[in-house]
Structure 1
Amino acid sequence: MTVLPILAPLSGEVVPVTAVPDPVFSQKMMGEGVAIRPLPQVQPVLAPVAGKIVKLFNTGHAFALVGEVGALEVLVHVGLETVGLKGEGFNLLCAQGEQVSAGQPIVEVDIPRLLALEKDPITPVVFIGRDQVETLDFTPGLVQAGTPLCQVTLRK
């Protein structure tokens, strides 16, 4: 049995993915996960696991990684309906195809700017690989970026 720690990509409040006000995430259509309501400050968005960036949107609002351990597929989606901002409030720090270490900054996000533009900054962290995750354990409450967000047990 493989149990993986997943790091928090942002500092803020950890909530269940079912609390995300978007049915694609709250109904787990994309997969199992958790979400963070980020603190209202400019902050880097960190890689939750070590691996390869397989998708990095040029708008900076989302990226997907395939982890080194168990090829775990992780999507980090910063805010809701943020793709329409066309990159405003986001600054890319990495490139698609790059190998990254857990905790490495991928994108910088200006949370106060998102709020000023009336976008919900809630950030789902979703495991998008079909049937990869057996269980997901997390503790609601405040989390610091780069510290444990949750742990997943991979299916055999």
Structure 2
Amino acid sequence: MTTVTSPLSGAAVGLSAVPDPVFSGSMVGPGTAVDPVREPTVAVSPVDGIIVSLHPHAFVVVDTDGRGVLTHLGIDTVQLNGEGFELLAAKGDSVERGQSIVSWNPVAVVDAGKSPISPVIALEASPDALAAVVEEGPVETSTTLFKWK
């Protein structure tokens, strides 16, 4: 079983409330989301593993069981072309849970007219593969968001 922790501090938000049909419809996979604190912050790795995909607005870490966890920083933030995001790691890096990956400012995302809500997705998982999914309440970067059976 893989424990996936929050990459951000803020408030948990169920996927159905994410303002993007791809995420709210679980088309990418099941999971949850975090509405981050409104201050400059750092997104951290939600699992131990290897960064297999890294963009200013999103990253995927694959754990030792081959399970990929996507963290998408905000909605439609790809349209910001990396502005306001700083990569703190590189594709191919081995990372530990809690290790810094991307520095960003959710306030700048809001100011640009985008949602800062950040989905955390279990890629290629079936909906019944997740347990103890947190969909509301405050979370810190160490808070468990879900368990992947």
Q: Shorter chain as normaliser: what TM range?
A: over 0.9
Secondary structure of the corresponding residue to residue 125 of structure 1: strand
Write the mapping of 1:129-140 to structure 2, written as runs, cut at 5 A.
129-131=124-126, 134-139=129-134, 140=136
Aligned to 1:100: 95
Unaligned runs of 5+ in 1: none
Aligned to 1:20: 18
Secondary structure of the corresponding residue to residue 79 of structure 1: coil
CA drift of 1:16 comes to: 1.1
Aligned to 1:75: 70
- Alignment of 1:61 onto 2:57: yes
List structure 1 segments (4+ residues) > 6 angstroms apart after TM superposition. Answer: none
- In the superposition, relative to structure 1, how do residues 132 and 24 fare at CA in structure 2: closer, same or farther (>3 Å)? closer
Paired residues, what number? 148
Say what the alpha-carbon RMSD is for the aligned residues: 1.5
Aligned to 1:88: 83
Aligned to 2:45: 47
What CA deviation, in whole Å up to 9, does each residue of 1:102-130 have, x standing for no partner?
A: 11010011111111111100000001124
Given the two structures, how large is their TM-score scaled by the length of structure 2?
A: 0.93
Unaligned runs of 5+ in 2: none
The residue identity in structure 1 corresponding to 2:95 is: V
Cα contact 1:66–1:72 (8 A) shared by 2: yes
The residue identity in structure 2 corresponding to 1:27 is: G
Aligned to 2:36: 38
Given the two structures, how large is their TM-score scaled by the length of structure 1?
A: 0.89
The residue identity in structure 2 corresponding to 1:40 is: R
Cα contact 1:72–1:132 (8 A) shared by 2: no
- In the superposition, relative to structure 1, how do residues 80 and 43 fare at CA in structure 2: closer, same or farther (>3 Å)? same
- In the superposition, relative to structure 1, how do residues 133 and 88 fare at CA in structure 2: closer, same or farther (>3 Å)? farther
Cα contact 1:9–1:145 (8 A) shared by 2: yes
